[in-house]
Amino acid sequence: MPETIPRPDYVSRGRVGTPTGRQIQDQQSLERLRTACTVAAEVLSVTGEAVEPGVTTAELDAVAHAAYVERGAYPSTLGYKGFTKSICTSVNGVICHGIPDSRPLEEGDIVNIDVTAFVEGMHGDTSATFAVGRVNDATRALIETTREATLRGIAAVRPGEPLRRIGEAIEPFAASRGFGVIREYGGHGIGATFHADPHINHTVVPSDTARFEVGMSFTVEPMLTAGRPVYHQADDGWTEHTDDSMISAQFEHTVVVTSDGAEILTVTREGLSPAGILPR
């Protein structure tokens, strides 16, 4: 990573020094966050285009790393709590935090690519699940349901409404398609701090009475499973596997609460994203 590219504070300090409370953006900070989110969407698109049978996840990491550098961005995961790669790559039954390695992707696999770009003091976080070559109908259904569930959750955001509206939009919809939703992992506040308050549930939690406020930025990133939504962590301390080895998919956007809903920030300059966009 060139020395001219600014790093988050935790890279040199070994700990997060920015505030971990709600990330509320004003006009100036929102523009900086938009920049970081645009870069993240571009890196995700470029890396997703490299997905094909025979490519290793380490090679995808190299593609992403070059795309970050080209855009003057630092990969937020690199050096975060000891993580050693520029993206997370979660294949098949890995629900999240997969570490890129030398395993070649195979026809019929799926891989989630999770990108976070640090630019102008802000983190932009997004992910998408990609099919490797041709996949069967059941796998395609999981991917498309997860993408739609993510967008449904975002569309449910309204200032003044409780945070649980997101989970209420996602979990019943996923269940109607026969898929489970991971309960423990959720979205998070993001901006000057990579992971901040609040925790965004993707399942129905009636006690979640905290409310959205204008300018609040956070991620929506549900993980859906073809089997039971139960998982365990690998010995590497990062990779989370489904207990039944059934496949899992995830999509993620960084959003900001507006006066009448939520705006997706993690889109390219053309307004596109592999994670999908809200209908106009």
C-alpha 77/C-alpha 11 separation (Å) is 10
- DSSP code at position 81: G
pLDDT of residue 140: 98
Domains, the chain: 22-264 (3.90.230.10)
C-alpha 222/C-alpha 199 separation (Å) is 12
Q: What is the mean pLDDT of the chain?
A: 97
Does pLDDT of 280 surpass 80?
no
Where are the strands (E) in the chain, listed by range? 74-75, 88-91, 94-96, 110-119, 122-131, 180-181, 187-189, 196-200, 217-220, 223-225, 231-233, 240-242, 248-250, 253-258, 261-264
Are the CB atoms for 266 and 126 separated by under 8 Å?
yes
| Residue pLDDT, tens place only, 143-167 | 999 999 999 999 999 999 999 999 9
Which has the closest alpha carbon to 22: 261, 196, 264, 202? 196
Residues 6+ apart with CB under 8 A from 280: none
Which has the closest alpha carbon to 249: 101, 137, 87, 140? 140
| Residue pLDDT, tens place only, 106-128 | 999 999 999 999 999 999 999 99
Q: Give the sign of the dihedral formed by CA 53, CA 59, CA 61, CA 64.
A: negative
| Residue pLDDT, tens place only, 167-191 | 999 999 999 999 999 999 999 999 9
Place of tokens 């960084």: 254
Which has the closest alpha carbon to 65: 56, 57, 75? 75
In which element (H, E) is residue 39 found? helix 27-49
Residues of the chain by 3-state class (helix, strand, coil), percent to 5:
30, 25, 45
Does pLDDT of 279 surpass 90?
no
Are the CB atoms for 21 and 50 separated by under 8 Å?
no
Which has the closest alpha carbon to 124: 132, 116, 112, 134? 116
Mean pLDDT of 252-272: 98
Are the CB atoms for 199 and 207 separated by under 8 Å?
no
| Residue pLDDT, tens place only, 62-111 | 999 999 999 999 999 999 999 999 999 999 999 999 999 999 999 999 99
Cβ neighbour number for residue 157 with a 10 Å cutoff: 24
- The whole-model pTM stands at 0.98
3-class secondary structure, 40? helix
C-alpha 256/C-alpha 264 separation (Å) is 7
| Residue pLDDT, tens place only, 16-61 | 999 999 999 999 999 999 999 999 999 999 999 999 999 999 999 9
